[in-house]
Structure 1
Amino acid sequence: MNTKRAKNVVRTPKHSVDDRPFIVIWEATRACPLACLHCRAEAQLARDPEELDGADARRVMDQIAAFGKPSPLFVITGGDPFQRADLTELIEYGTSLGLRIAVSPSGTPTLTRSNLTAVRDAGAVALSLSLDGSTAERHDSFRGVQGVYDWTLDGWRTARELGLKVQINTTVTRYSLPDLADIAAVVKREGAMIWSGFILVPTGRGEALSALGADEVEDVMHFLYDAGAVMATKTTEGHHFRRVALQRTILARHGEAPSLGPVHASLSARAAELGLFSGEQRAVRRPPMDVGSGRGFVFISHTGEVTPSGFLPLSAGNVKNHPLTEIYRGSALFASLRDPSLLEGKCGRCEFNTVCGGSRSRAYGVSGRTLAEDPWCAYEPGSFAYQEELRELLPV
């Protein structure tokens, strides 16, 4: 296998995902003043008295550091982490342990210059914000509170001025689909480290939203890949984006384009109107990272429950009772998610399952089985024309 070329298409963590996660996300609180239509956490205005306190949180960070160096990326999310008065103290403590820390706040009036300066000075290196509409009317409607769009853009611009890296997340639903190219244009205009398309998982309030069909998701994946020519792109719960990257790389060698549907055509036409793909192209396309639920990725709830993902609500233990290292390495649930030979249905038969594996969160949300096939993947196993070249790129 040409290892160098494979790494250029899909990245893999430097350390075995059996031994340590690539990223740990901690839900610091569920308190949040917004009422977002897709909210996984079904956030509330008040903090839960059972959430991890400062001492608990410091023990969690000690456990993350115990995985060894380089440490996993540690993301503090919510709810709105700014609802915790000890946020900067916790960032300082984690930084002192050598953790790389990112913060994922809500778009609220807490996104002030003073708050953002405080988290930067405490040691945070990145900020993650959500943009689900290209205009205030569209974004605020999705987020359930007027003013969120302006607060988000002000915080975004301030964070960049302060030297924080900014990731922008967009939830892909029936509502946001017609606006997706326009949102991409805003991200390109304002500048971001990366734009992530979150392919909806039916959990929390997201169960009530109208999701896309598998063919529509496929078109969106290819549009995100196209956008990667002018800005860094990734997906959340869209693991077949890695399949798309491999397919598109091989098709490009042959001067071929994928056969796609009307959603891709519509998004591409709108992108052309906006000039999204005009101007300077990226010298190097950002390869997607090969991690998934329980496989390089771990989530800690506000009460300490350890799950493979915030969208896969099955606990493998609680950090109050067992070290995170033991839960991650020894849990039967996590071990099963790291074994592609256990996958069912199309995912089990698919030649891409070692770098994709489908969304385990979505499989569970729809079927109640963590190893079921991803219901929103349109690919038919074995149908890609260039199987021999594909085998050269897949990891072994």
Structure 2
Amino acid sequence: MNGVRAIRRQHQNVADKPFIVIWESTRACPLACLHCRAEAVPDRDPRELDTAAARQLIRQIAAFGHPAPLFVITGGDPFQRPDLTDLIAYGGEAGVRVAVSPSGTPTLTADRLRAVHEAGAVGLSLSLDGSTPELHDGFRGVPGVYRWTLDAWDTARALGMKVQINTTVARHNLHDLPDVVRLVAEHGAMLWSAFFLVPTGRGRRLGVLTPAETEDVLNFVYDAGLTVPAKTTEAHHFRRVALQRKILADAGKDHVTALGLGPLYRRLRDRAAELGLDTEVRRTRRPPLDVNAGRGFAFVSHTGTVHPSGFLPLGAGSVRERPLTEIYRTSELFTRLRDPDGLGGRCGACEFRRVCGGSRSRAYGVTGDPFAAEPWCGYRPGSFPHQRELAALLAGGATGRSPGPDGSRPPSEDRAQRQDTP
């Protein structure tokens, strides 16, 4: 088995420090997105963390130690906050890398992007949920969002900013995903993230995918990783797919037959071939990073409550009352989520549970139990035939090198993780 890594481990002790902290700076947003987790509203909430409280939050993130977790300011629309650039600059002063995830609205102007860049933002995350205005604007609820998003994307790239493109995977765009990848390849992005819908907020009203469809899309995202740097959000079983695909490729086995992939995968692959994506192959694939709710990830709401994920509405405390470091390290909710042996159902019995763990947010959204089995995963524990090869990977061979005595990772691995934005 060759030495190419299938997944990447976090470089810090996940019980001590998250890799990423996302802050919902406001719920104010002029869009009416069909899937909105925040159920955004036009006006700002007077209970939001003010500038002083937001600075205190940044200091709490810095208190995790160097290097501090990546801090992502999202919303709603963070451009609704007049102190946005001040907070970005303050993060830099405190030793905290700050990225911004704005909404595609008229606030996303070249001047504002330039100001965010000059304030020190390390990256920009934008949403593109269709390859045409009809698909994207229909999903976002406002005409013109598609054009604003593409203009902002090109402007940010021209400024030298790192751009991540997020695509919500839902019924409206299942067959459009290759065309979205085509756009990402044409405009250029540091990363393309396929976000698998969680039934929370307005997203409860949207249709769900079957486990078989999810499997087909995950394998398409894996294929797309040779054309554009690709990852998933709230589809942690993508890491299982990455391990399976590596083992099958090393063994010279056909993954379509071995994994029982269906007609949706074939259609996505055929469309990718029509677009020429299979001829635009990157030299290396970006291995997915092993992060999950409460395990390398923390979310702070607009009012300061702390959650393991923005899509898991269970709270573990408030940064107004307890430091984020204490909540992350010691709260019962976070510590339980970091224990893969505490998972229930198929997830608890699965040999991939320590590198996957399933979406705890989707489990809660569907069943009311954050430790239940991942509803969009159809894998039967123990059914993958190459268990010996899998055990070798899970022991560390191709999942990333073991930390040194001081907990450090090789410089190349640290650089790779610093490239990640939300």
Equivalent positions of 1:210-225 (< 5 A) are 210-225=207-222
The secondary structure found in structure 1 opposite 2:168 is strand
1:136/1:22 Cα in 2 relative to 1: closer, same or farther (>3 Å)?
same
Q: Is 1:108 the equivalent of 2:109?
A: no
The secondary structure found in structure 1 opposite 2:164 is strand
Aligned partner of 2:392: which letter? E
Partner Cα separation in structure 2 for residue 15 and residue 395 of structure 1: 18
Structure 2 match to 1:390: 390
Partner Cα separation in structure 1 for residue 359 and residue 149 of structure 2: 28
Structure 2 match to 1:283: 283
The secondary structure found in structure 1 opposite 2:279 is coil
Question: Is the Cα contact below 8 Å between 1:5 and 1:393 reproduced in 2?
Answer: no
Structure 2 match to 1:55: 52
Partner Cα separation in structure 1 for residue 282 and residue 70 of structure 2: 25
Equivalent positions of 1:58-207 (< 5 A) are 58-207=55-204
Residues 248-280 of structure 1: CA deviation (Å, up to 9, x unaligned): 00000111122310110011111111111213x
Residues 31-66 of structure 1: CA deviation (Å, up to 9, x unaligned): 000000000000000000000000000000000000
Partner Cα separation in structure 2 for residue 251 and residue 378 of structure 1: 19
Equivalent positions of 1:253-268 (< 5 A) are 253-258=250-255, 259=257, 260-268=261-269
Partner Cα separation in structure 2 for residue 223 and residue 342 of structure 1: 31
Structure 1 match to 2:369: 369
Deviation at 1:137, TM superposition (A): 1.1
Query: Deviation above 2 Å: which 4+ runs of structure 1?
Result: none
Structure 2 residues not aligned, in runs of 5+: 397-422
Partner Cα separation in structure 1 for residue 333 and residue 251 of structure 2: 41
Aligned partner of 1:151: which letter? W
Structure 1 match to 2:316: 316
Residues 180-215 of structure 1: CA deviation (Å, up to 9, x unaligned): 111111111111101000011000000000111000
The secondary structure found in structure 2 opposite 1:196 is strand
Residues 205-229 of structure 1: CA deviation (Å, up to 9, x unaligned): 0000011100000000000000001
Question: Is the Cα contact below 8 Å between 1:214 and 1:378 reproduced in 2?
Answer: yes
Partner Cα separation in structure 1 for residue 9 and residue 232 of structure 2: 15
The secondary structure found in structure 2 opposite 1:198 is strand
Question: Is the Cα contact below 8 Å between 2:135 and 2:172 reproduced in 1?
Answer: no
Which segment drifts farther, 269-278 or 57-66? Answer: 269-278
Partner Cα separation in structure 2 for residue 277 and residue 147 of structure 1: 31
User: TM-score when scaled to structure 2?
Assistant: 0.92
Q: Is 1:298 the equivalent of 2:295?
A: no
Partner Cα separation in structure 2 for residue 157 and residue 95 of structure 1: 25
Partner Cα separation in structure 2 for residue 223 and residue 99 of structure 1: 35
Count of residues in Structure 1 that have an aligned counterpart in Structure 2: 392
Question: Is the Cα contact below 8 Å between 2:220 and 2:269 reproduced in 1?
Answer: yes
Structure 1 match to 2:338: 338
Residues 73-124 of structure 1: CA deviation (Å, up to 9, x unaligned): 1000000000000000000001111111110000011111110010111010
Q: Say what the alpha-carbon RMSD is for the aligned residues.
A: 1.1
Residues 352-386 of structure 1: CA deviation (Å, up to 9, x unaligned): 00000000000000000010000100111101111
Residues 318-337 of structure 1: CA deviation (Å, up to 9, x unaligned): 00000000000000000010
Deviation at 1:282, TM superposition (A): 1.6
Partner Cα separation in structure 1 for residue 205 and residue 55 of structure 2: 36
Aligned partner of 2:289: which letter? M
Question: Is the Cα contact below 8 Å between 2:306 and 2:318 reproduced in 1?
Answer: yes
Partner Cα separation in structure 1 for residue 393 and residue 304 of structure 2: 39
Question: Is the Cα contact below 8 Å between 1:80 and 1:106 reproduced in 2?
Answer: yes
The secondary structure found in structure 2 opposite 1:115 is helix
Partner Cα separation in structure 2 for residue 305 and residue 257 of structure 1: 47
Partner Cα separation in structure 2 for residue 395 and residue 131 of structure 1: 37
Question: Is the Cα contact below 8 Å between 2:181 and 2:228 reproduced in 1?
Answer: no
The one of 239, 242, 249 equivalent to 2:239 is 242
Question: Is the Cα contact below 8 Å between 1:169 and 1:198 reproduced in 2?
Answer: yes
Partner Cα separation in structure 1 for residue 329 and residue 395 of structure 2: 22
Deviation at 1:138, TM superposition (A): 1.0
The secondary structure found in structure 2 opposite 1:170 is strand
Partner Cα separation in structure 1 for residue 101 and residue 354 of structure 2: 29
Partner Cα separation in structure 2 for residue 214 and residue 101 of structure 1: 35
The secondary structure found in structure 2 opposite 1:277 is helix
Q: Is 1:39 the equivalent of 2:40?
A: no
The secondary structure found in structure 2 opposite 1:13 is coil
Question: Is the Cα contact below 8 Å between 1:354 and 1:395 reproduced in 2?
Answer: no
Aligned partner of 1:369: which letter? D
Aligned partner of 1:176: which letter? N
The secondary structure found in structure 1 opposite 2:303 is coil
Deviation at 1:238, TM superposition (A): 0.5
Residues 136-158 of structure 1: CA deviation (Å, up to 9, x unaligned): 11110000000000000000000
Partner Cα separation in structure 1 for residue 228 and residue 155 of structure 2: 20
